């Protein structure tokens, strides 16, 4: 049985009664042996392995179109690959169970390892959405034949091959062509990464070229005879904006003359409209909607949200599989709802809501239960089990968000009573009031004849419904409703694309105009009024936050506010829910984008890359629509509606056309751009300037390949040499085709200490230098188990992720539980999930026999497990 992670393997072993085999680095009983991968153990080989001519970064050697793809061991986990391969070759076994994560990438991880080992064991598939003991037991009673998932594997292989073909060919072609024009930058291209960057660059260009337009509004503050006050805004039909301050002053002056309650032409209510608006509960979370909500609510990055959700799923067992693209439940899961409600009554903060659902059993509608909209996994919901261990602050907040969204989905709609009133000021009848939405594009350049009309809106929540479960109070609910339907409604809602001429950002003063109830009014009622001109200015569209960028990626950049339409566009989005966070992190790591508080801002390097694509007439490489259409085709392959061969033929044809276009375009003359920060370990990373050097494509890379192949000849249990395959590389879960240059200082920089970062002005003490030498990591780099993209490096007090500047806080301290760890122990911890037995100290200082077990979500990276 092959699991994707050590922690999952331990969960499976716990349910099946499997214990560690003596002296072995897997788990074994008389029936099962359970081992694990550490991410991708196998990946696609680099270009030079197919053809020595592809080693040089030259335009005349492109396109690179392998007839068959080859696999090679991933550098970070060669030892674990030997273990897995040895077990797959062991003649004691009569079959193998694929227990990798139940999704496209998990299927690929298993298929590549199985293929690399040349195994012929019959395959069965464990497909579960929860890691609770009950869910695992149910999964083992319904194992499915491995060939049932061949179409999913075809989609996974096609994704990987397409990433290799588009990313490596385009990266080399654009870089080589730009260097013909005197540039010295490396332009990293990714099938999904680059279109995502293009969205950010297009928004930045809108902001930089935006020219603000001043305009004026007139505010009326009215008072009833008994002293109740309420605000309004002046409108003439659908128009509320005036082109000059003199126009606003003219309206204010003439209305002040009739502002008295006794004035015959003074303010008078001329029309009223009351209605009830029902707001249904939001749909259940998929990963993207969870990431968007957590970013808006807590400021979590998409990667941080995924990291926490994985901990809630794997470590605490309190939520279901998080890497899902569905917001619905299947009918099978719906049958288990009463039991789930009952289990949630044991959690005090949710007990009253869960009891209400037990006392008044809901009848889930199609917004909750729909088998046709559940493919690999259903929506993210709680499992009903108590957390294993104590949730930290961020885990508790995200868990609370998921539970309240789940329970609220079964509660009634919230209801808002909305009252709208037109107040007329001045002599005459004038045109009848217009209830339609305001036209924000039009500015009046002449004052219309009197009388003037002012529109007032008031909102009050009459039925809390699901909002009580969500913890939304009445004032917040009214204010949120005003934000979407107020007298000065803004079109730049989350995920939508702002128009080119700009829109006003929502101003809290405008929200207040509609966020409270109006006093009782009747037609013909006289009022007193005061009038004020208000200077405004159109504003540029806002920069993307991670929440709004995720929404744009989900709809391939299209402006879609309606949830139903957005759901229909899921198949044509950029990437998948499981990969979008890593795409954003890749752009940040390669310095194409930086964070400015909550905003994502493209750098000059990012803007320059998109400019190079335009200059070389291959802007399609940055097309969200094209990449989205490819993603839709991958989804169709997984469903058996399209052939893998047809898709890959089109990708190869597209790559050829792109190379021809770049070859025929003039070399762009651009300034030097900063190189990306570090490599992501993908094959084919380029050498340094001049196409020589000792990067992954230079001598060291060749020596490493030779060493791998020498290892393969040693005998059973060692990885075999690269083999041919009809499938692509097992890249990372991000846009792994995109290529970055090797860092000249990889593995030598220091990780920041949480408490006392190393001084930049004073040299470290001699003893500290010796300590770091004794704890330096040699050999293959270790991939960070928390973020999955960074690598571990040696700091002054521990080993940490080299992406700490981007927010990854994984660290393992040299001194842990009273023992100084060795690099060998760290390597075992990261690659195998645990260390060998050793003497540690418990919290009281007493020596105990124990081992360290990997725990990426914890503050120390590992936990002590007594033996």
**Where in the sequence numbering do the catalytic residues fall?**
321
**Cα four-point dihedral sign 814, 820, 823, 826:** negative
Distance separating alpha carbons of residues 707 and 700, to the nearest angstrom: 10
Query: Strands 819-820, 815-816: parallel, antiparallel or unpaired by DSSP?
Result: antiparallel
Q: Where are the alpha helices (DSSP H) in 775-838?
A: 823-832
CA of residue 178 relative to chain centroid, distance:
32
Q: Where are the alpha helices (DSSP H) in 434-589?
A: 466-470, 474-485, 508-512, 546-554, 563-568, 577-589
Q: Coil, helix or strand for 536?
A: strand
Q: Which structure tokens are listed for 446?
A: 């002449």
Distance separating alpha carbons of residues 179 and 202, to the nearest angstrom: 25
**Helix 104-116 vs helix 150-180: crossing angle, to nearest 10:** 90
| Apex 399 CA angle, 397 and 405, nearest 5 | 100
Q: Where are the alpha helices (DSSP H) in 42-191?
A: 78-89, 104-116, 133-140, 150-180
Find out whether 198 and 614 touch, Cβ atoms under 8 Å.
no
**Structure letter (DSSP) for residue 450:** S
Among 707, 677, 694, 674, smallest CA distance to 791 is for 677
Q: Which structure tokens are listed for 543?
A: 């920069």
Q: Which helix (H) or strand (E) holds 277?
A: strand 268-279
| Apex 146 CA angle, 142 and 147, nearest 5 | 125
Distance separating alpha carbons of residues 162 and 174, to the nearest angstrom: 18
Find out whether 854 and 830 touch, Cβ atoms under 8 Å.
yes
3-state helix/strand/coil string of 647-709? HHHHHHHHHHHHHHHHHHCCCCCCCCCCCCCCCCCCCCCCCECCCECCCCCCHHHHHHHHHHH
Distance separating alpha carbons of residues 411 and 353, to the nearest angstrom: 9
Distinct helix (H) and strand (E) counts, the chain: 25, 26
Among 715, 682, 805, 853, smallest CA distance to 40 is for 682
Find out whether 112 and 40 touch, Cβ atoms under 8 Å.
yes
């Amino acid at each position: 049985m092959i699991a994707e992670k050590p922690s999952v393997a331990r969960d499976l072993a716990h349910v099946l009664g499997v214990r560690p085999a003596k002296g072995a680095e897997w788990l074994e009983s008389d029936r099962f042996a359970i081992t694990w991968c550490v991410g991708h153990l196998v990946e696609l080989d680099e270009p030079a392995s197919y053809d020595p001519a592809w080693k040089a970064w030259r335009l005349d050697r492109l396109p690179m179109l392998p007839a068959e793809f080859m696999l090679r061991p991933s550098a970070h986990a060669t030892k674990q690959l030997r273990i897995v391969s040895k077990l797959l070759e062991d003649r004691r076994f009569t079959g193998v169970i694929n227990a990798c994560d139940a999704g496209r990438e998990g299927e690929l991880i298993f298929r590549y390892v199985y293929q690399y080992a040349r195994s012929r064991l019959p395959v069965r598939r464990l497909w579960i959405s929860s890691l609770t003991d009950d869910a695992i037991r149910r999964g083992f009673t319904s194992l499915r034949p491995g060939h049932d998932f061949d179409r999913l594997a075809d989609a996974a292989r096609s994704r990987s091959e397409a990433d290799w073909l588009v990313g490596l060919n385009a990266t080399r072609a654009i870089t080589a062509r730009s260097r013909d024009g005197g540039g010295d930058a490396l332009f990293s291209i990714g099938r999904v990464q680059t279109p995502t960057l293009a969205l950010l660059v297009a928004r930045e260009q809108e902001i930089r070229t935006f020219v603000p337009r001043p305009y004026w509004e007139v505010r009326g503050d009215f008072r009833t005879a008994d002293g109740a006050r309420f605000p309004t805004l002046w409108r003439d039909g659908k128009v509320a904006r005036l082109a000059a301050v003199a126009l606003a002053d003219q309206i204010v002056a003439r209305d002040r003359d009739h502002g008295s309650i006794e004035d015959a032409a003074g303010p008078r209510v001329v029309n009223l409209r009351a209605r009830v608006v029902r707001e249904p509960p939001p749909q259940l979370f998929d990963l993207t909607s969870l990431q968007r909500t957590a970013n808006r609510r807590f400021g979590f990055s998409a990667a941080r949200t995924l990291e926490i959700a994985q901990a809630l799923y794997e470590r605490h067992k309190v939520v279901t599989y998080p890497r899902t693209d569905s917001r619905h439940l299947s009918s099978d899961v719906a049958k288990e709802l009463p039991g789930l409600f009952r289990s949630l009554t044991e959690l005090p903060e949710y007990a009253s809501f869960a009891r209400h659902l037990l006392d008044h059993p809901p009848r889930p509608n199609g917004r909750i239960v729909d088998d046709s909209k559940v493919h690999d996994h259903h929506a993210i919901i709680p499992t009903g089990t108590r957390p294993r261990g104590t949730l930290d602050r961020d885990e508790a907040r995200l868990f609370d968000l998921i539970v309240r969204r789940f329970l609220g989905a079964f509660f009634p709609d919230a209801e808002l009573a909305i009252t709208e009133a037109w107040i007329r000021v001045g002599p005459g009848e004038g045109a009848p009031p217009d209830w339609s939405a305001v036209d924000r594009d039009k500015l009046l350049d002449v004052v219309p004849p009197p009388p003037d009309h002012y529109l007032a809106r008031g909102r009050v929540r009459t039925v809390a419904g699901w909002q009580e479960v969500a913890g939304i109070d009445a004032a917040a609910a009214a204010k949120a409703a005003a934000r979407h339907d107020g007298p000065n409604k803004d079109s730049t809602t989350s995920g939508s694309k702002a128009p080119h001429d700009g829109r006003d950002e929502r101003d809290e003063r405008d929200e207040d105009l509609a966020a409270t109830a109006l006093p009782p009014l009747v037609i013909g009622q006289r009022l007193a009024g005061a009038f004020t001109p208000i200077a405004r200015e159109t504003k540029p569209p806002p920069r993307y936050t991670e929440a709004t960028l995720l929404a744009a990626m989900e709809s391939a950049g299209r402006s879609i506010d309606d949830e139903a339409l957005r759901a229909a566009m899921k198949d044509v989005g950029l990437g998948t829910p499981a990969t979008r966070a890593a795409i954003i992190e890749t752009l940040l790591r390669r310095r194409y984008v930086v964070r400015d508080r909550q905003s994502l801002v493209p750098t000059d390097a990012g803007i320059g890359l998109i400019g190079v694509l335009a200059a070389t007439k291959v802007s399609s490489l940055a097309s969200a629509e094209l990449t989205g259409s490819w993603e839709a085709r991958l989804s169709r392959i997984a469903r058996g509606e399209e052939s893998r061969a047809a898709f890959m033929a089109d990708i190869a044809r597209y790559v050829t056309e792109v190379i021809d276009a770049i070859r025929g375009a003039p070399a762009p003359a651009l300034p030097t751009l900063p190189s990306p920060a570090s490599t992501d370990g993908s094959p084919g990373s380029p050498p340094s300037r001049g196409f020589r050097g000792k990067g992954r494509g230079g001598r060291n890379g060749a020596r490493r390949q030779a060493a791998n192949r020498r290892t393969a000849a040693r005998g059973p249990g060692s990885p075999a040499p690269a083999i041919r395959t009809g499938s692509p590389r097992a890249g990372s879960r991000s846009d792994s085709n995109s290529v970055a240059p090797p860092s000249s200082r990889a593995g030598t920089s220091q990780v920041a200490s949480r408490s006392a970062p190393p001084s930049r002005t004073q040299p470290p003490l001699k003893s500290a230098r010796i300590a770091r030498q004794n704890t330096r990591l040699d050999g293959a780099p270790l991939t960070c188990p928390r973020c999955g993209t960074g690598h571990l490096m040696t700091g002054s007090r521990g080993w940490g992720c080299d992406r700490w500047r981007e927010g990854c806080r994984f660290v393992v301290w040299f001194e842990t539980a009273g023992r100084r760890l060795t690099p060998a122990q760290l390597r075992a911890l990261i690659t195998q999930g645990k260390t060998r037995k050793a003497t540690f100290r418990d919290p009281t200082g007493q020596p105990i026999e124990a081992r360290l077990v990997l725990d990426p979500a914890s503050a120390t990276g590992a936990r002590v497990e007594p033996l």
